[in-house]
Structure 1
Amino acid sequence: MGAPERLVARPSLWTIIAAVAAVIVVSVVAFWGPWATPAATVAAGEDEAVVATPPSPLDLPENARVLIFGDSWTWGEAAAPGKGYAYEVADVTGWTTIVDGVRGSGYLRPGIDGADFGTRIAQLDRWLAPDLIVVQGSINDRRLYPQGYREAVGRAWDRLTDIFPDAQIVILGPAPQVLPVEEATALIDADLADLAARRGWWYISPIAENWITAADYRDIIDTSAVGRDHPSTAGHRYLAERLAAAVAALSR
């Protein structure tokens, strides 16, 4: 005797439609979940409507050469020598990192021992040939913001792409040195996210992704007279791990 036949009910049209809709919703949530960075946008002009398109996934070789450019956080302020996040991330990922951090510098503000971001970028050696460039910061512009800010960012990024036309670029926004996040810092974060999206670049926002919260602030930030609200050695290691995870999530 053969195996009994299994009766299969024919689904209704509305059941099929509901199932298809559910698949679409799950796919969208999977792609734009909390682990994903904001969508990029393409715009014809500063005030024109934009069309959302995701940036291409990062495609990094093994032992990638990564230029990390930024302010005192990139320099490694308040960490033990050689233990800043830009150095520690090499240990986490296996990258070869080229670290270019100047304390106090920003897109508008010259630093303690170096110029503003745009001037410093213009002085970079094209023979560095990085596979990836991470541009970090900066909270140092918050006292001068917003006059001329977006224009200064645009000029700096134009120079970066002129010097390194083949490099992949990720913008790492400012992280809060104090809580609650200062208004100007939040506005800088939003501006950088928008400007990066207009170029089709990935943007990582430590503010939006809650890298530093009230629950762990004291474990990450050194508020002493020595640390001056910069990450501690442990805090820099934590930032290195968060950056490595964020870049991995954006990669093939």
Structure 2
Amino acid sequence: MARRTDGGWPDGPRSLPLRRRRRRRRLMPAVALGAMSLGVAGFLVMLPAVSDACQSVPGAANVSTNRAASAMARGSDVLIVGDSYTTGRGSYDGTHGWAQDLVAERNWDATIDGVPGSGYVNTGATNSTRWNYISRIERSASLTPELVIVQGSQNDWLVSAETLRTRVERTLRTAKRQWPDAVVVAIGPSAPQPRAETTAGISAAVAAGAHAAGVPFIDPLDEQWFTRMNSASYAAGDGQHLNDDGYRYLAAKIDDALEELAAPRDGEQCA
């Protein structure tokens, strides 16, 4: 069972049903194989040849492989906090994005909390701090997630890098303190090109905040998930969000990155 909250409106969140779709274990977007091959350099390899490749997710060493595997197992209780990408803006119905795809694929018991325009600092259209990430995490204290995913921050472009870094660290530390038994993971900006190029400073600030908080950081920008060559296939009409293929592709990449947290590392055999 999955739960969804949309907090992007002044009257507060509302629950919406999540449409589940059965697919093969590895999510694959419905685009030409030629387009897929263009992004192969950015894929996270499941069977790397050397142990260093097992640590492609920065901060992964802060979470034990067994703990990570348990947190992301089928049926786990998961909380996803994010912006319009988590809401699914740009998809066929505007409400079905990467989070919904990944939840259905892994059969998680998930609460999806997406607020368009929000971020670690930014409040979205509400202009109320009730809707930034830390406030929503604090209001979710009654939940008992095994995995907490905090997505985004590309809306935090009006604040300084240090302000953002500090807020990211504080937000992620709050999540860790609130759910000490949960695995907390941060995902950086994941816009298509050319929008992605404008998020470099934001991504670096979020990475620094996650590092300070001891939280694994998934970095779509550094991994070049979206390039000038594949973005045309994955971008929504506004050029700011993703279409259905783009969200399926993003879900697959995040799925692989999460698997990396459970992969052997620190001298263990990768194969």
Q: Which residue identity is paired with 2:211?
A: A
3-state secondary structure, aligned to 1:239: helix
Q: For residue 230 of structure 2, what is the aligned residue in structure 1?
A: 216
TM-score (ref. length: structure 2): 0.69
Equivalent pairs, count: 208
1:191 aligns with 2:205: yes
Q: For residue 69 of structure 2, what is the aligned residue in structure 1?
A: 59
| Cα drift, residue 140 of structure 1 | 0.3
Do 2:175 and 2:184's aligned partners in 1 also have CA atoms closer than 8 Å? no
The structure richer in strand per residue is 1
- Does the C-alpha gap of structure 1 residues 145 and 176 become closer, same or farther in structure 2, counting only changes over 3 Å? farther
Q: For residue 37 of structure 1, what is the aligned residue in structure 2?
A: 57
Q: For residue 165 of structure 2, what is the aligned residue in structure 1?
A: 150
- The gaps in structure 2 that reach 5 residues or longer are 1-47, 264-271
- Does the C-alpha gap of structure 1 residues 198 and 155 become closer, same or farther in structure 2, counting only changes over 3 Å? closer
Q: For residue 183 of structure 2, what is the aligned residue in structure 1?
A: 168
The whole-number CA distance in structure 1 between the counterparts of 2:179 and 2:225 is: 29
| Cα drift, residue 92 of structure 1 | 2.1
Do 2:169 and 2:212's aligned partners in 1 also have CA atoms closer than 8 Å? no
Q: Which residue identity is paired with 1:165?
A: P
1:133 aligns with 2:133: no
| Cα drift, residue 190 of structure 1 | 1.7
- Does the C-alpha gap of structure 1 residues 129 and 97 become closer, same or farther in structure 2, counting only changes over 3 Å? same
Q: Which residue identity is paired with 2:56?
A: A
Q: For residue 118 of structure 1, what is the aligned residue in structure 2?
A: 134
- 1:2-41 matches, within 5 Å, as 30-33=50-53, 36-39=56-59
Which structure is larger by alpha-carbon Rg, 1 or 2? Answer: 1
| Identity in percent | 30
| Cα drift, residue 71 of structure 1 | 0.5
- The gaps in structure 1 that reach 5 residues or longer are 1-27, 41-52
Q: Quick one: which of 167, 182, 193 aligns to 1:178?
A: 193
Moved over 6 A (4+): none
Q: Quick one: which of 246, 254, 259 aligns to 1:235?
A: 246
Q: For residue 89 of structure 1, what is the aligned residue in structure 2?
A: 102
Q: For residue 71 of structure 1, what is the aligned residue in structure 2?
A: 83
| Cα drift, residue 181 of structure 1 | 3.3
Q: Quick one: which of 251, 259, 267 aligns to 1:248?
A: 259
The whole-number CA distance in structure 2 between the counterparts of 1:181 and 1:229 is: 9
Q: Which residue identity is paired with 2:79?
A: L
3-state secondary structure, aligned to 1:215: coil
Do 2:172 and 2:215's aligned partners in 1 also have CA atoms closer than 8 Å? no
- Does the C-alpha gap of structure 1 residues 157 and 54 become closer, same or farther in structure 2, counting only changes over 3 Å? closer
The whole-number CA distance in structure 1 between the counterparts of 2:261 and 2:153 is: 22
The whole-number CA distance in structure 1 between the counterparts of 2:182 and 2:59 is: 20
TM-score (ref. length: structure 1): 0.74
Q: Which residue identity is paired with 1:95?
A: W
Q: State the Cα deviation string for residues 90-146 of structure 1 (Å, max 9, x = none).
A: 22222222100100011121112562222222221x332111011001100013232
The whole-number CA distance in structure 1 between the counterparts of 2:76 and 2:92 is: 25
Q: More displaced, 140-149 or 64-73?
A: 140-149
The whole-number CA distance in structure 1 between the counterparts of 2:54 and 2:240 is: 27
3-state secondary structure, aligned to 1:213: coil
User: With CA pairs under 8 Å and 6+ residues apart, which has the higher RCO, 1 or 2?
Assistant: 2
Do 1:87 and 1:97's aligned partners in 2 also have CA atoms closer than 8 Å? no
